[in-house]
């Protein structure tokens, strides 16, 4: 929805992040841009025009920026693009880790792809520039040993007293909650075994379809038409989405209509031939009224529903895994409906069919009490595979992919994996300098594939790009990651706004979130990119000799367990740690420290391109907050005035009573000042957070021990950083990290 612009200033070692919603319509209209986006852009524009409050923020930050960067580089940037981006601009400025230094190097050894192709075979066998196998072996041995050592370290941290509990799996359902189970103090399974005992009640199915009351009618071509139960159910799916933009999209309508017709009787099929003649309004109104009625229910009715939900949760929401009662994440089967793909998904609107017990595979222990299927039905299969973590699986009909029911993030099985993930990222920290030196060396390689690999790795490392697996064309939205970038996603600027060798990225990443970034790169990278793009069509792959499998194989050789995504975890966590060090001031009070934390978190979210649509109520809530601030300011003025007069009074009277009055007034002023500051901090935080989602990085990329250590060091209650669910997920980190923890 918004463009992310990242600018790097060499002199100040600063990275500037801009969130900018200006149009790139021209680019999208470009003939070469095959996968057209104008519709989406128009929608984005619509969204964008609803948010025009950035100017004030811009002013605020401009001042901060001036203080931080005397070279005025961002001003230059701004001036040049003032016209383009005159609508609005919101930005946050951060200092990140030291940038690569630009060296001027001779333009040697550059060949066109054609030339490269002609010598490809020869060169593919030429390992002169490859990682030396002998070295790898010794290094890898060391790494393996190191890893084993890490495992030992982790094990030695664990108390052995509880050993008997978790291992041999017979059901002895422990009366849990009283004392939280510290799984991180126990032995881990090896050899891919995930559990020894697993018992659960199976999934909760979607409620059966309830036909519409007879007064709720469907009209075709202006005439009432009674639909069969099957056709009616699918029609209700569409009617429930009538207010959603989806139903205006051609692909959505086309897919829906095609699948809907499959559910119709032959008679219905012969009559209903045009979706535009269908009138779902009464259905839509009915569901809206139902929704309102639900909201208007009495307390007792709501309580009853709550109790019923709680009963279901207690019955189906937990399993017994190795003597412990563990919470299940998603024990409800996805109800039928219309598929809502993200971005320009070719399958949006298709019918997601109802999942029946006959579609379900149950996974549990042989010696457990198997879940019973609903009366008159049976499971597709009951299996006992303890090398996987899922409890239930089924195949969905849209993409043909498998869906799973798994455990909650607070469970042992998920927690261990999470912990391990951060340990791998910490191992990368120890060797990242070597890896960086290596890929820089590889930019000069005579082998095209090695150069491509090295440039891709540089992007993954520096820009936190995702790996970019290949995708089946026509099956999903056209999104890319690093390895799947196409020529059309990059523009090369030998000179741009006073900076040399600028690469302009513009592509849709995961969830069709736009990644827009103009970044200066090293000369060698730039020259290599020119070479990779030479004689290619816009829709050709940028890295034609690379895919994620090749890249990960290479990474595996450099460090045991290293894959492309480890870089994202590593760079996110290290950025948080650095930012916290830089931004936290000992003298700050708790709200100011929390603001610093959120800013550090925000730096990571921007690095990882975690965007969100601004909340619909954003403008209003900001106005409300501003009104509160204004009122508080008035209150402060009054309080100060009263203090002044109390002081004057005390001076004249010189008695205890008036002295006391001065003291009371002074305290009132102090209190109001604190309240005002709190409100102002809140406003700043909210404004800066408008289009950035902090949750994703907090939950998935930031080693929680960094946050825990920071909280302990600065006396910030952990509840201020992590909510209840997050504390449950990160219980292991909260328990084990002390204030000296270093990522």
Q: Which of 169, 337, 371, 591 binds DNA (CB under 7 A)?
A: 337
Q: Is 133 in the site for DNA (CB under 7 A)?
A: no
Q: Is 284 in the site for DNA (CB under 7 A)?
A: no
Q: Which of 102, 275, 312, 388 binds DNA (CB under 7 A)?
A: 388
Question: Which of 7, 2, 50 shows the shortest CA–CA distance to 24?
Answer: 2
Q: Is 418 in the site for DNA (CB under 7 A)?
A: yes
For residues 1 to 30, the per-residue mask of contacts with DNA, x marking binding by CB under 7 A and - elsewhere, is x-----------------------------
Q: Is 723 in the site for DNA (CB under 7 A)?
A: yes
Segment contacting DNA (CB under 7 A): 426-434, 448-456, 545-553, 710-718?
545-553
- For residue 233, the minimal CB distance to DNA (Å) is 15
- For residue 570, the minimal CB distance to DNA (Å) is 11
Stretch 655-714 residues interacting with DNA (CB under 7 A): 686, 693, 695-697, 700-701
Closer residue to DNA in complex, CB, 73/569: 569
Stretch 501-530 residues interacting with DNA (CB under 7 A): 509-513
Segment contacting DNA (CB under 7 A): 255-263, 382-390, 519-527, 664-672?
382-390
DSSP per position, 673-740:
HHHHHHHHHHHHHHHHTTTB--HHHHHHTS-HHHHHHHHHHHT--GGGTS-HHHHHHTHHHHHH--TT
- Positive or negative, the CA dihedral 693, 699, 705, 708 is positive
Closer residue to DNA in complex, CB, 566/737: 566
Closer residue to DNA in complex, CB, 74/284: 284
Q: Is 645 in the site for DNA (CB under 7 A)?
A: no
- β-bridge pairing 318-321 and 324-327: antiparallel
What is the C-alpha to C-alpha distance for residues 601 and 303, in angstroms, rounded to an integer?
Answer: 38
Segment contacting DNA (CB under 7 A): 335-343, 429-437, 526-534, 536-544?
335-343
Q: Is 617 in the site for DNA (CB under 7 A)?
A: yes
Q: Is 717 in the site for DNA (CB under 7 A)?
A: no
- For residue 338, the minimal CB distance to DNA (Å) is 9
Q: Which residues contact 695 (CB under 8 A, 6 or more apart)?
A: none
Question: Which of 426, 430, 505 shows the shortest CA–CA distance to 460?
Answer: 505
For residues 195 to 234, the per-residue mask of contacts with DNA, x marking binding by CB under 7 A and - elsewhere, is ----------------------------------------
- For residue 538, the minimal CB distance to DNA (Å) is 20
Stretch 438-497 residues interacting with DNA (CB under 7 A): 466-469, 471-472, 476-477, 479, 481
Q: Which of 345, 489, 593, 599 binds DNA (CB under 7 A)?
A: 345
Closer residue to DNA in complex, CB, 91/515: 515
# of chain residues touching DNA (CB under 7 A): 84
What is the C-alpha to C-alpha distance for residues 229 and 217, in angstroms, rounded to an integer?
Answer: 13
Burial label for 59, CB within 10 Å (0-12, 13-18, 19+), is exposed
Residue 94's H or E segment, with its range, is: strand 90-94
Catalytic site residue 701?
Answer: yes
What is the C-alpha to C-alpha distance for residues 476 and 523, in angstroms, rounded to an integer?
Answer: 36
The radius of gyration of the chain from alpha carbons, rounded to an integer in Å, stands at 30
Q: Which residue has the tokens 């005390």?
A: 650
Stretch 78-107 residues interacting with DNA (CB under 7 A): none
Beta strands in 172-328 (DSSP E): 198-199, 219-220, 223-224, 278-279, 318-321, 324-327
- Helices and strands, number each (H, E), in the chain: 25, 18
Q: How far is CA 479 from CA 30, 498, 597, in A?
A: 18, 31, 32
Q: Given 8, 515, 597, 701, which residue is catalytic? A: 701
Q: How far is CA 11 from CA 8, 67, 79, 161, 309, in A?
A: 9, 15, 19, 57, 59
3-state secondary structure of 6: strand
- For residue 431, the minimal CB distance to DNA (Å) is 16
- For residue 683, the minimal CB distance to DNA (Å) is 10
Q: Is 643 in the site for DNA (CB under 7 A)?
A: no
Q: Is 118 in the site for DNA (CB under 7 A)?
A: no
Segment contacting DNA (CB under 7 A): 178-186, 371-379, 450-458, 620-628?
620-628
- For residue 548, the minimal CB distance to DNA (Å) is 5
Q: Is 341 in the site for DNA (CB under 7 A)?
A: yes
Structure-token pair, residue 581: 């060090």
- For residue 587, the minimal CB distance to DNA (Å) is 25
Closer residue to DNA in complex, CB, 71/630: 630
Stretch 144-163 residues interacting with DNA (CB under 7 A): none
- For residue 712, the minimal CB distance to DNA (Å) is 20
Q: Which of 118, 228, 309, 589 binds DNA (CB under 7 A)?
A: 309
272-275 CB contacts, 8 Å cutoff, 24+ apart:
272/220, 272/225, 274/221
DSSP per position, 334-399:
PPPEE---SSS-TTTT-EEPPP-GGG-EEE--TTS-PPPPSTT---SEEE--TTS--SEEEE-TTT
Q: Is 609 in the site for DNA (CB under 7 A)?
A: yes
Segment contacting DNA (CB under 7 A): 168-176, 369-377, 398-406, 426-434?
398-406
Closer residue to DNA in complex, CB, 69/568: 568
Q: Is 400 in the site for DNA (CB under 7 A)?
A: yes
Closer residue to DNA in complex, CB, 100/336: 336
Q: Is 343 in the site for DNA (CB under 7 A)?
A: yes
Q: How far is CA 25 from CA 40, 196, 485, in A?
A: 10, 57, 20
Q: How many CB atoms lie within 10 A of CB 145?
A: 11
Burial label for 567, CB within 10 Å (0-12, 13-18, 19+), is buried
- For residue 553, the minimal CB distance to DNA (Å) is 7
- For residue 629, the minimal CB distance to DNA (Å) is 12
Q: Is 724 in the site for DNA (CB under 7 A)?
A: yes
Question: Which of 349, 346, 345, 193 shows the shortest CA–CA distance to 275?
Answer: 349
Q: How many CB atoms lie within 10 A of CB 488?
A: 21
Structure-token pair, residue 520: 């200066």
What is the C-alpha to C-alpha distance for residues 50 and 201, in angstroms, rounded to an integer?
Answer: 48
- For residue 513, the minimal CB distance to DNA (Å) is 5
Q: Which of 133, 335, 374, 717 binds DNA (CB under 7 A)?
A: 335
3-state secondary structure of 656: helix
Structure-token pair, residue 7: 């600018």
Question: Do 351 and 338 form a contact (C-beta atoms < 8 A)?
Answer: yes
Q: Is 625 in the site for DNA (CB under 7 A)?
A: yes
Closer residue to DNA in complex, CB, 356/612: 612
Stretch 29-48 residues interacting with DNA (CB under 7 A): none
Q: Is 558 in the site for DNA (CB under 7 A)?
A: no
Question: Catalytic positions, please?
Answer: 701
């Amino acid at each position: 929805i918004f463009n992310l612009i990242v600018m790097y200033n060499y002199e100040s070692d600063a990275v500037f992040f801009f969130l900018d919603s200006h149009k790139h319509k021209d680019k999208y209209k470009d003939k070469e841009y095959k996968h057209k986006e104008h519709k989406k852009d128009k929608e984005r524009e619509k969204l964008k025009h609803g948010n025009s409050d950035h100017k004030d923020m811009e002013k605020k930050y401009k001042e901060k920026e001036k203080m931080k960067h005397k070279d005025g580089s961002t001003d230059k940037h701004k001036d040049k693009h003032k016209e383009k981006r005159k609508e609005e601009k919101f930005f946050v400025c951060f200092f990140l880790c030291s940038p690569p230094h630009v060296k001027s190097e001779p333009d040697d050894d550059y060949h066109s792809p054609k030339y490269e192709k002609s010598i490809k075979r020869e060169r593919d066998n030429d390992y002169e520039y490859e990682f030396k196998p002998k070295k790898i072996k010794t290094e890898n041995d060391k790494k393996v040993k190191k890893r084993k050592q890490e495992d030992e370290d982790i094990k030695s941290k664990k108390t052995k007293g509880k050993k008997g509990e978790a291992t041999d799996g017979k059901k002895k359902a422990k009366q849990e909650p009283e004392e939280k189970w510290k799984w991180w103090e126990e032995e881990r399974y090896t050899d891919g075994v995930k559990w020894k005992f697993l018992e659960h009640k199976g999934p909760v199915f979607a409620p059966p379809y309830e036909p519409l009351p007879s007064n709720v009618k469907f009209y075709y071509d202006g005439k009432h038409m009674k639909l069969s139960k099957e056709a009616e159910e699918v029609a209700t799916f569409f009617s429930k989405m009538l207010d959603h933009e989806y139903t205006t999209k051609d692909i959505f309508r086309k897919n829906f209509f095609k699948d809907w017709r499959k559910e119709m009787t032959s008679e219905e099929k012969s009559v209903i031939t045009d979706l535009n003649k269908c009138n779902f309004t009464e259905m839509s109104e009915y569901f809206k009224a139902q929704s309102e009625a639900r909201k208007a229910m009495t307390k007792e009715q709501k309580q009853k529903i709550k109790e019923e939900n709680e009963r279901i949760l207690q019955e189906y929401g937990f399993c017994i895994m190795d003597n412990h009662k563990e919470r299940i994440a998603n024990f409800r089967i996805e109800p039928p409906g219309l598929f809502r793909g993200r971005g320009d998904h070719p399958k949006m609107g298709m019918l997601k069919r109802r999942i029946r017990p006959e579609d379900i595979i149950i996974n549990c222990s042989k010696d457990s009490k198997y879940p019973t299927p609903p009366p008159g039905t049976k499971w597709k299969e009951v299996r006992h595979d303890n090398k996987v973590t899922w409890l239930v699986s089924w195949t969905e009909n849209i993409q043909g992919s498998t869906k799973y029911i798994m455990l909650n993030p607070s469970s042992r099985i998920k927690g261990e994996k999470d912990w391990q993930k951060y340990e791998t990222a910490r191992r990368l920290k120890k060797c990242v300098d070597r890896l960086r030196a290596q890929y820089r060396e590889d930019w000069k390689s005579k082998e095209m594939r090695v150069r491509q690999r090295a440039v891709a790795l540089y992007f993954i490392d520096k820009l936190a790009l995702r790996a970019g697996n290949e995708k089946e064309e026509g099956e999903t939205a056209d999104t890319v990651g690093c390895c799947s970038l196409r020529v059309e996603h990059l523009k090369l600027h030998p000179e741009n706004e006073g900076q040399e060798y600028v690469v302009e990225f513009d592509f849709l990443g995961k969830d069709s979130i736009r990644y827009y970034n103009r970044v200066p790169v090293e000369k060698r990278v730039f020259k290599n990119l020119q070479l990779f793009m030479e004689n290619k069509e816009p829709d050709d792959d940028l890295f034609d000799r690379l895919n994620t499998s090749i890249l990960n194989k290479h990474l595996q050789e450099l460090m045991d367990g290293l894959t492309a995504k480890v870089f994202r975890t590593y760079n996110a966590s290290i950025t948080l740690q650095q930012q916290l060090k830089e931004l936290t001031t000992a003298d700050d009070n708790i709200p100011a420290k929390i603001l610093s934390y959120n800013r550090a978190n925000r730096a990571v979210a921007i690095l990882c391109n975690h965007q969100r649509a601004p909340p619909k109520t954003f403008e209003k809530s900001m106005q409300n907050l501003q009104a509160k601030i204004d009122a508080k300011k008035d209150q402060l003025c009054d309080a100060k005035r009263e203090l002044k007069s109390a002081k004057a009074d005390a001076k004249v009277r010189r008695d205890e009573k008036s002295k006391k009055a001065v003291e009371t007034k002074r305290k009132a002023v102090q209190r109001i000042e604190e309240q005002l500051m709190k409100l102002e901090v809140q406003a700043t935080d909210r404004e800066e957070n408008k289009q950035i989602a902090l949750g994703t990085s907090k939950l998935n990329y930031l080693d929680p021990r960094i946050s825990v250590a920071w909280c302990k060091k600065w006396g910030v209650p952990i509840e201020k950083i992590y909510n209840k669910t997050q504390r449950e997920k990160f219980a292991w980190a909260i328990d084990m990290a002390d204030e000296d923890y270093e990522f």
